Structure 1
Amino acid sequence: MIDYLFSQYRGYPTYHIILELTAIFFGLWSVWCAKKDNILVFPTGIISTLIYAYLLWTWSLLGDSMINVYYFIMSIYGWYHWSRKKGEVVEFPISKITSREKTNALIIFVLTEVFVIIVYLFFDKFTSWASYVDTFITGIFFVGMWLMAKRKIENWILWIIGDFISIPLYFTKGYTFTSIQYIVFTILAIAAYLEWKKHLVKQI
Protein backbone atom coordinates (compact mmCIF):
# COMPACT_ATOMS: atom_id res chain seq x y z
CA MET A 1 0.00 0.00 0.00
CA ILE A 2 2.79 2.40 0.96
CA ASP A 3 4.65 1.56 -2.21
CA TYR A 4 1.50 2.18 -4.28
CA LEU A 5 0.94 5.59 -2.70
CA PHE A 6 4.49 6.91 -2.78
CA SER A 7 6.41 4.97 -5.46
CA GLN A 8 6.07 7.87 -7.93
CA TYR A 9 8.43 9.94 -5.78
CA ARG A 10 11.37 7.69 -6.64
CA GLY A 11 12.08 9.66 -9.80
CA TYR A 12 11.56 13.09 -8.25
CA PRO A 13 14.40 15.45 -7.34
CA THR A 14 14.93 15.42 -3.56
CA TYR A 15 14.53 19.17 -3.35
CA HIS A 16 11.08 18.91 -4.99
CA ILE A 17 9.93 16.55 -2.25
CA ILE A 18 11.35 18.85 0.44
CA LEU A 19 9.64 21.85 -1.14
CA GLU A 20 6.32 20.02 -1.40
CA LEU A 21 6.42 18.98 2.27
CA THR A 22 7.39 22.52 3.32
CA ALA A 23 4.53 23.99 1.30
CA ILE A 24 2.13 21.47 2.83
CA PHE A 25 3.24 22.37 6.37
CA PHE A 26 2.68 26.11 5.85
CA GLY A 27 -0.51 25.47 3.87
CA LEU A 28 -2.06 23.46 6.70
CA TRP A 29 -0.91 26.03 9.25
CA SER A 30 -2.49 28.77 7.13
CA VAL A 31 -5.87 27.01 6.89
CA TRP A 32 -5.83 26.35 10.63
CA CYS A 33 -5.24 30.07 11.25
CA ALA A 34 -8.07 30.93 8.85
CA LYS A 35 -10.36 28.55 10.74
CA LYS A 36 -9.52 30.43 13.94
CA ASP A 37 -10.02 33.81 12.21
CA ASN A 38 -6.35 34.55 12.91
CA ILE A 39 -4.53 37.04 10.67
CA LEU A 40 -1.50 34.71 10.52
CA VAL A 41 -3.45 32.94 7.77
CA PHE A 42 -1.84 35.37 5.34
CA PRO A 43 1.93 35.27 6.08
CA THR A 44 1.88 31.47 6.43
CA GLY A 45 -0.21 31.20 3.27
CA ILE A 46 2.20 33.40 1.33
CA ILE A 47 5.09 31.01 2.00
CA SER A 48 3.04 28.00 0.90
CA THR A 49 1.66 29.65 -2.24
CA LEU A 50 5.05 30.85 -3.49
CA ILE A 51 6.47 27.34 -3.22
CA TYR A 52 3.44 25.76 -4.87
CA ALA A 53 3.40 28.30 -7.68
CA TYR A 54 6.85 27.06 -8.67
CA LEU A 55 6.13 23.34 -8.17
CA LEU A 56 2.79 23.35 -10.00
CA TRP A 57 4.33 25.09 -12.98
CA THR A 58 6.99 22.38 -13.20
CA TRP A 59 4.20 19.76 -12.90
CA SER A 60 2.33 21.36 -15.87
CA LEU A 61 -0.70 22.24 -13.76
CA LEU A 62 -0.79 25.78 -15.10
CA GLY A 63 -4.18 26.67 -13.68
CA ASP A 64 -3.20 25.72 -10.15
CA SER A 65 0.13 27.48 -10.57
CA MET A 66 -1.68 30.69 -11.51
CA ILE A 67 -4.02 30.15 -8.55
CA ASN A 68 -1.05 30.33 -6.20
CA VAL A 69 0.30 33.50 -7.79
CA TYR A 70 -3.18 34.96 -7.33
CA TYR A 71 -3.27 33.66 -3.73
CA PHE A 72 -0.08 35.58 -3.06
CA ILE A 73 -1.60 38.83 -4.36
CA MET A 74 -4.88 38.31 -2.50
CA SER A 75 -2.99 37.38 0.68
CA ILE A 76 -1.36 40.81 0.65
CA TYR A 77 -4.78 42.42 0.18
CA GLY A 78 -6.41 40.17 2.80
CA TRP A 79 -3.64 40.89 5.31
CA TYR A 80 -4.33 44.60 4.93
CA HIS A 81 -8.14 44.17 4.92
CA TRP A 82 -8.25 41.99 8.03
CA SER A 83 -5.90 44.29 9.98
CA ARG A 84 -8.05 47.40 9.52
CA LYS A 85 -9.68 48.62 12.73
CA LYS A 86 -11.88 51.47 13.99
CA GLY A 87 -10.30 52.12 17.33
CA GLU A 88 -10.06 48.67 18.94
CA VAL A 89 -12.86 47.18 16.85
CA VAL A 90 -12.18 45.16 13.70
CA GLU A 91 -13.56 47.15 10.75
CA PHE A 92 -14.44 44.13 8.63
CA PRO A 93 -15.56 41.17 10.79
CA ILE A 94 -16.88 37.84 9.49
CA SER A 95 -20.02 38.43 7.43
CA LYS A 96 -22.27 37.00 4.72
CA ILE A 97 -21.90 37.76 1.04
CA THR A 98 -24.10 40.55 -0.37
CA SER A 99 -26.11 40.45 -3.62
CA ARG A 100 -23.57 42.70 -5.32
CA GLU A 101 -20.70 40.48 -4.17
CA LYS A 102 -22.51 37.43 -5.57
CA THR A 103 -22.55 39.13 -8.97
CA ASN A 104 -18.88 40.07 -8.64
CA ALA A 105 -18.07 36.47 -7.64
CA LEU A 106 -19.77 35.14 -10.77
CA ILE A 107 -17.86 37.63 -12.94
CA ILE A 108 -14.55 36.61 -11.32
CA PHE A 109 -15.35 32.94 -11.94
CA VAL A 110 -16.23 33.44 -15.61
CA LEU A 111 -13.25 35.68 -16.35
CA THR A 112 -10.93 33.24 -14.59
CA GLU A 113 -12.26 30.32 -16.63
CA VAL A 114 -11.81 32.21 -19.89
CA PHE A 115 -8.28 33.29 -19.00
CA VAL A 116 -7.14 29.82 -17.88
CA ILE A 117 -8.64 28.16 -20.96
CA ILE A 118 -6.72 30.60 -23.17
CA VAL A 119 -3.49 29.80 -21.28
CA TYR A 120 -4.04 26.05 -21.63
CA LEU A 121 -4.78 26.38 -25.33
CA PHE A 122 -1.72 28.60 -25.87
CA PHE A 123 0.59 26.06 -24.21
CA ASP A 124 -1.32 23.12 -25.73
CA LYS A 125 -1.90 21.59 -22.28
CA PHE A 126 -5.40 20.14 -22.76
CA THR A 127 -3.94 16.64 -22.89
CA SER A 128 -5.96 14.82 -20.19
CA TRP A 129 -9.06 14.99 -18.03
CA ALA A 130 -6.90 16.52 -15.26
CA SER A 131 -6.39 19.64 -17.39
CA TYR A 132 -10.14 20.22 -17.63
CA VAL A 133 -10.66 19.63 -13.91
CA ASP A 134 -7.76 21.97 -13.14
CA THR A 135 -9.41 24.65 -15.27
CA PHE A 136 -12.71 24.31 -13.37
CA ILE A 137 -11.29 24.35 -9.85
CA THR A 138 -9.11 27.33 -10.72
CA GLY A 139 -12.29 29.40 -11.06
CA ILE A 140 -13.65 28.03 -7.78
CA PHE A 141 -10.45 28.79 -5.89
CA PHE A 142 -10.10 32.28 -7.38
CA VAL A 143 -13.55 33.21 -6.04
CA GLY A 144 -12.91 31.40 -2.75
CA MET A 145 -9.72 33.37 -2.09
CA TRP A 146 -11.43 36.65 -2.97
CA LEU A 147 -14.19 35.90 -0.46
CA MET A 148 -11.62 34.81 2.13
CA ALA A 149 -9.79 38.13 1.79
CA LYS A 150 -13.13 39.92 2.28
CA ARG A 151 -13.89 37.72 5.33
CA LYS A 152 -17.08 36.25 3.87
CA ILE A 153 -18.26 32.96 5.38
CA GLU A 154 -19.24 31.60 1.95
CA ASN A 155 -15.55 31.28 1.06
CA TRP A 156 -15.53 28.00 3.00
CA ILE A 157 -18.24 26.46 0.83
CA LEU A 158 -16.07 27.02 -2.25
CA TRP A 159 -12.96 25.71 -0.48
CA ILE A 160 -14.85 22.54 0.50
CA ILE A 161 -15.91 21.93 -3.11
CA GLY A 162 -12.52 22.76 -4.62
CA ASP A 163 -10.50 20.87 -2.00
CA PHE A 164 -12.63 17.74 -2.40
CA ILE A 165 -12.23 17.75 -6.19
CA SER A 166 -8.47 18.29 -5.81
CA ILE A 167 -7.98 15.04 -3.84
CA PRO A 168 -8.25 12.65 -6.82
CA LEU A 169 -6.70 15.24 -9.17
CA TYR A 170 -3.37 15.28 -7.36
CA PHE A 171 -3.41 11.59 -6.52
CA THR A 172 -3.83 10.53 -10.15
CA LYS A 173 -1.13 13.02 -11.17
CA GLY A 174 1.23 11.29 -8.75
CA TYR A 175 1.44 13.90 -5.99
CA THR A 176 0.31 11.80 -3.02
CA PHE A 177 1.52 14.17 -0.30
CA THR A 178 -0.45 17.05 -1.82
CA SER A 179 -3.49 14.80 -2.29
CA ILE A 180 -3.39 13.91 1.42
CA GLN A 181 -3.06 17.61 2.19
CA TYR A 182 -6.33 18.27 0.35
CA ILE A 183 -8.09 15.58 2.40
CA VAL A 184 -7.07 17.50 5.52
CA PHE A 185 -7.99 20.81 3.82
CA THR A 186 -11.50 19.49 3.16
CA ILE A 187 -11.97 18.46 6.78
CA LEU A 188 -10.59 21.79 8.05
CA ALA A 189 -12.79 23.76 5.64
CA ILE A 190 -15.92 22.02 6.94
CA ALA A 191 -14.86 22.68 10.54
CA ALA A 192 -13.99 26.30 9.68
CA TYR A 193 -17.40 26.91 8.09
CA LEU A 194 -19.12 25.67 11.25
CA GLU A 195 -16.82 27.77 13.47
CA TRP A 196 -17.33 30.95 11.43
CA LYS A 197 -21.08 30.30 11.53
CA LYS A 198 -20.91 30.37 15.33
CA HIS A 199 -19.08 33.72 15.12
CA LEU A 200 -21.87 35.13 12.98
CA VAL A 201 -24.53 33.99 15.46
CA LYS A 202 -22.64 35.71 18.31
CA GLN A 203 -22.49 38.97 16.29
CA ILE A 204 -26.28 39.11 15.90
Structure 2
Amino acid sequence: MNKGWVLPVFVIVMLAVAFATSSSALEIAATTTGLLSVWLTARENIWAWPVGLANVACFFCMFEDAKLYADMTLQVFFFALSLYGWAVWLTGRGTAKVRPTRSLAPKRAALLGVLLVAVTLLWGFVLEAYTDASIPYADALIATLSLIAQYLLSSKVLQNWLCWIAVDALSIGMYAYKELYSLAFLYVVFLAIAVAGHLSWKRAYDAGPKEVPA
Protein backbone atom coordinates (compact mmCIF):
# COMPACT_ATOMS: atom_id res chain seq x y z
CA MET A 1 0.00 0.00 0.00
CA ASN A 2 2.98 2.35 0.24
CA LYS A 3 3.92 2.27 -3.46
CA GLY A 4 3.30 5.78 -4.72
CA TRP A 5 2.73 4.75 -8.33
CA VAL A 6 -0.21 2.45 -7.63
CA LEU A 7 -2.87 5.12 -7.04
CA PRO A 8 -2.10 7.16 -10.20
CA VAL A 9 -2.21 3.97 -12.28
CA PHE A 10 -5.60 3.04 -10.79
CA VAL A 11 -6.97 6.52 -11.51
CA ILE A 12 -5.74 6.48 -15.12
CA VAL A 13 -7.22 3.04 -15.77
CA MET A 14 -10.53 4.05 -14.15
CA LEU A 15 -10.78 7.22 -16.20
CA ALA A 16 -10.08 5.22 -19.35
CA VAL A 17 -12.88 2.80 -18.47
CA ALA A 18 -15.21 5.69 -17.62
CA PHE A 19 -14.68 7.42 -20.97
CA ALA A 20 -14.88 4.13 -22.88
CA THR A 21 -18.29 3.42 -21.31
CA SER A 22 -19.54 7.01 -21.81
CA SER A 23 -19.91 7.59 -18.08
CA SER A 24 -21.34 10.89 -16.88
CA ALA A 25 -19.24 13.58 -15.23
CA LEU A 26 -20.98 12.81 -11.93
CA GLU A 27 -20.11 9.11 -12.19
CA ILE A 28 -16.49 9.95 -12.96
CA ALA A 29 -16.33 12.31 -9.96
CA ALA A 30 -17.90 9.66 -7.71
CA THR A 31 -15.53 6.91 -8.81
CA THR A 32 -12.43 9.10 -8.51
CA THR A 33 -13.20 10.50 -5.04
CA GLY A 34 -14.33 7.06 -3.91
CA LEU A 35 -11.07 5.46 -4.96
CA LEU A 36 -9.01 8.19 -3.29
CA SER A 37 -11.02 7.94 -0.07
CA VAL A 38 -10.64 4.15 0.22
CA TRP A 39 -6.96 4.36 -0.67
CA LEU A 40 -6.34 6.94 2.08
CA THR A 41 -8.37 4.87 4.54
CA ALA A 42 -6.29 1.77 3.90
CA ARG A 43 -3.21 3.88 4.61
CA GLU A 44 -4.83 5.18 7.85
CA ASN A 45 -4.59 8.75 6.55
CA ILE A 46 -6.93 11.25 8.24
CA TRP A 47 -7.56 12.99 4.88
CA ALA A 48 -9.73 10.02 3.98
CA TRP A 49 -12.61 11.67 5.83
CA PRO A 50 -12.93 15.03 4.01
CA VAL A 51 -12.44 13.28 0.66
CA GLY A 52 -15.07 10.76 1.74
CA LEU A 53 -17.58 13.54 2.44
CA ALA A 54 -17.21 14.79 -1.14
CA ASN A 55 -17.66 11.23 -2.38
CA VAL A 56 -20.87 10.84 -0.36
CA ALA A 57 -22.40 13.89 -2.08
CA CYS A 58 -21.58 12.49 -5.54
CA PHE A 59 -23.01 9.07 -4.78
CA PHE A 60 -26.22 10.53 -3.32
CA CYS A 61 -27.04 12.25 -6.60
CA MET A 62 -25.99 9.31 -8.74
CA PHE A 63 -28.01 6.72 -6.83
CA GLU A 64 -31.09 8.93 -7.06
CA ASP A 65 -30.80 8.90 -10.84
CA ALA A 66 -30.31 5.10 -10.86
CA LYS A 67 -33.36 4.54 -8.57
CA LEU A 68 -31.22 2.73 -6.01
CA TYR A 69 -33.04 4.32 -3.12
CA ALA A 70 -31.53 2.29 -0.29
CA ASP A 71 -28.05 3.29 -1.45
CA MET A 72 -29.20 6.91 -1.83
CA THR A 73 -30.55 6.99 1.74
CA LEU A 74 -27.38 5.29 2.91
CA GLN A 75 -25.33 8.34 1.93
CA VAL A 76 -27.08 10.42 4.60
CA PHE A 77 -25.94 7.95 7.25
CA PHE A 78 -22.49 7.81 5.68
CA PHE A 79 -22.20 11.58 5.99
CA ALA A 80 -22.96 11.45 9.73
CA LEU A 81 -20.69 8.44 10.28
CA SER A 82 -17.88 10.13 8.37
CA LEU A 83 -18.03 13.11 10.71
CA TYR A 84 -18.09 10.68 13.65
CA GLY A 85 -15.14 8.74 12.27
CA TRP A 86 -13.13 11.89 11.67
CA ALA A 87 -13.54 12.75 15.36
CA VAL A 88 -12.87 9.20 16.64
CA TRP A 89 -9.68 8.76 14.63
CA LEU A 90 -8.30 11.95 16.19
CA THR A 91 -9.06 10.93 19.81
CA GLY A 92 -7.18 8.44 22.01
CA ARG A 93 -4.21 8.49 19.64
CA GLY A 94 -1.43 9.62 21.98
CA THR A 95 1.59 10.51 19.86
CA ALA A 96 0.30 8.59 16.80
CA LYS A 97 -1.34 10.26 13.80
CA VAL A 98 -4.59 8.35 14.31
CA ARG A 99 -6.24 6.16 16.95
CA PRO A 100 -4.92 2.56 17.27
CA THR A 101 -6.98 -0.19 15.66
CA ARG A 102 -9.32 -2.25 17.84
CA SER A 103 -10.85 -5.71 17.36
CA LEU A 104 -14.57 -6.53 17.41
CA ALA A 105 -15.91 -8.24 20.52
CA PRO A 106 -17.83 -11.51 19.86
CA LYS A 107 -21.06 -10.25 21.47
CA ARG A 108 -21.01 -7.10 19.34
CA ALA A 109 -20.36 -9.19 16.23
CA ALA A 110 -23.38 -11.40 17.00
CA LEU A 111 -25.59 -8.35 17.55
CA LEU A 112 -24.49 -6.81 14.27
CA GLY A 113 -25.24 -10.12 12.49
CA VAL A 114 -28.81 -10.11 13.83
CA LEU A 115 -29.25 -6.48 12.84
CA LEU A 116 -27.97 -7.23 9.33
CA VAL A 117 -30.66 -9.86 8.73
CA ALA A 118 -33.50 -7.92 10.37
CA VAL A 119 -32.79 -4.56 8.75
CA THR A 120 -32.18 -6.10 5.31
CA LEU A 121 -35.54 -7.89 5.35
CA LEU A 122 -37.44 -4.85 6.61
CA TRP A 123 -35.71 -2.39 4.29
CA GLY A 124 -36.12 -4.69 1.30
CA PHE A 125 -39.84 -5.11 2.00
CA VAL A 126 -40.34 -1.35 2.22
CA LEU A 127 -38.46 -0.77 -1.02
CA GLU A 128 -40.41 -3.48 -2.81
CA ALA A 129 -43.80 -2.37 -1.52
CA TYR A 130 -43.54 1.41 -1.66
CA THR A 131 -40.96 2.33 -4.31
CA ASP A 132 -39.99 1.43 -7.85
CA ALA A 133 -36.61 0.15 -6.66
CA SER A 134 -34.95 -2.03 -9.27
CA ILE A 135 -33.59 -4.85 -7.06
CA PRO A 136 -34.94 -4.08 -3.57
CA TYR A 137 -33.56 -6.90 -1.43
CA ALA A 138 -30.09 -6.93 -3.00
CA ASP A 139 -30.02 -3.14 -2.70
CA ALA A 140 -31.10 -3.36 0.96
CA LEU A 141 -28.53 -6.07 1.80
CA ILE A 142 -25.62 -4.14 0.33
CA ALA A 143 -26.82 -0.90 1.92
CA THR A 144 -27.22 -2.45 5.39
CA LEU A 145 -23.88 -4.24 5.24
CA SER A 146 -22.25 -1.03 4.04
CA LEU A 147 -23.70 0.85 6.99
CA ILE A 148 -22.30 -1.73 9.42
CA ALA A 149 -18.93 -1.62 7.67
CA GLN A 150 -18.85 2.18 7.83
CA TYR A 151 -19.73 2.15 11.53
CA LEU A 152 -16.87 -0.26 12.24
CA LEU A 153 -14.50 1.79 10.09
CA SER A 154 -15.46 5.01 11.86
CA SER A 155 -14.88 3.23 15.18
CA LYS A 156 -11.41 2.11 13.95
CA VAL A 157 -12.31 -1.60 14.20
CA LEU A 158 -10.20 -4.09 12.23
CA GLN A 159 -13.12 -6.21 11.02
CA ASN A 160 -14.55 -3.33 9.01
CA TRP A 161 -12.45 -4.60 6.09
CA LEU A 162 -14.09 -8.02 6.13
CA CYS A 163 -17.48 -6.32 5.80
CA TRP A 164 -16.19 -4.10 2.98
CA ILE A 165 -14.82 -7.12 1.13
CA ALA A 166 -18.31 -8.65 1.15
CA VAL A 167 -19.88 -5.33 0.12
CA ASP A 168 -17.44 -4.90 -2.75
CA ALA A 169 -18.01 -8.41 -4.10
CA LEU A 170 -21.80 -7.98 -4.03
CA SER A 171 -21.62 -4.48 -5.49
CA ILE A 172 -19.63 -5.61 -8.53
CA GLY A 173 -22.54 -7.80 -9.58
CA MET A 174 -25.23 -5.24 -8.80
CA TYR A 175 -23.62 -2.34 -10.67
CA ALA A 176 -22.81 -4.52 -13.67
CA TYR A 177 -26.49 -5.54 -13.74
CA LYS A 178 -27.50 -1.85 -13.65
CA GLU A 179 -25.02 -1.14 -16.48
CA LEU A 180 -22.98 1.23 -14.29
CA TYR A 181 -19.79 -0.23 -15.67
CA SER A 182 -17.30 2.30 -14.35
CA LEU A 183 -18.79 1.80 -10.88
CA ALA A 184 -18.54 -1.98 -11.25
CA PHE A 185 -14.89 -1.59 -12.19
CA LEU A 186 -14.39 0.79 -9.27
CA TYR A 187 -15.63 -1.91 -6.90
CA VAL A 188 -13.17 -4.39 -8.38
CA VAL A 189 -10.47 -1.91 -7.38
CA PHE A 190 -12.16 -1.37 -4.00
CA LEU A 191 -12.08 -5.13 -3.44
CA ALA A 192 -8.34 -5.25 -4.06
CA ILE A 193 -7.74 -2.27 -1.76
CA ALA A 194 -9.99 -3.76 0.95
CA VAL A 195 -7.98 -6.99 0.95
CA ALA A 196 -4.72 -5.02 1.11
CA GLY A 197 -6.19 -2.73 3.79
CA HIS A 198 -7.19 -5.68 5.96
CA LEU A 199 -3.73 -7.21 5.71
CA SER A 200 -2.05 -3.88 6.48
CA TRP A 201 -4.29 -3.07 9.45
CA LYS A 202 -3.94 -6.64 10.77
CA ARG A 203 -0.14 -6.38 10.76
CA ALA A 204 -0.32 -3.04 12.59
CA TYR A 205 -2.85 -4.44 15.07
CA ASP A 206 -0.74 -7.51 15.83
CA ALA A 207 2.38 -5.40 16.34
CA GLY A 208 0.82 -2.55 18.32
CA PRO A 209 -0.79 -2.01 21.73
CA LYS A 210 -4.19 -3.67 22.21
CA GLU A 211 -7.19 -1.52 23.12
CA VAL A 212 -10.36 -2.85 24.72
CA PRO A 213 -12.42 -4.68 22.03
CA ALA A 214 -15.17 -2.57 20.49
TM-score of the aligned structures, taking structure 2 as reference length: 0.80
Runs of 4+ in 1 over 6 A off after TM superposition: none
How far has the Cα of 1:109 moved from its partner? 2.0
User: What pairs with 1:97-136 in structure 2 (closer than 5 Å)?
Assistant: 97-125=104-132, 130-136=135-141
Residue among 164, 167, 174 paired with 1:162: 167
Q: Judge conservation of contact 2:60–2:72 (CA < 8 Å) in 1.
A: yes
- Tell me the matched-pair count: 191
1:29-52 CA distance string (max 9 Å, x none): 110111011111111111111111
TM-score of the aligned structures, taking structure 1 as reference length: 0.84
| Higher normalized contact order (CA 8 Å, seq sep 6+, divided by chain length) | 2
How far has the Cα of 1:103 moved from its partner? 3.8
How far has the Cα of 1:111 moved from its partner? 4.9
Residue among 172, 175, 178 paired with 1:173: 178
The answer to which of 102-111 and 164-173 deviates more is 102-111
The answer to which of 85-94 and 186-195 deviates more is 85-94
Structure 1 unmatched ranges of 5 or more? 10-15
How far has the Cα of 1:95 moved from its partner? 1.4
How far has the Cα of 1:56 moved from its partner? 0.3
User: What pairs with 1:143-162 in structure 2 (closer than 5 Å)?
Assistant: 143-162=148-167
Alpha carbons of structure 1 residues 73 and 115: separation in structure 2 relative to 1, 3 Å: farther
Q: Judge conservation of contact 2:63–2:69 (CA < 8 Å) in 1.
A: yes
CA distance in 2, matches of 1:38, 1:131: 34
Identity of aligned residues (%): 24
1:82 has 2:89 as partner: yes
1:125-174 CA distance string (max 9 Å, x none): 355xx332112111211110110011111000010111011112111211
Q: Judge conservation of contact 1:94–1:151 (CA < 8 Å) in 2.
A: yes
Residue among 124, 137, 143 paired with 2:142: 137
RMSD, aligned CA: 2.2
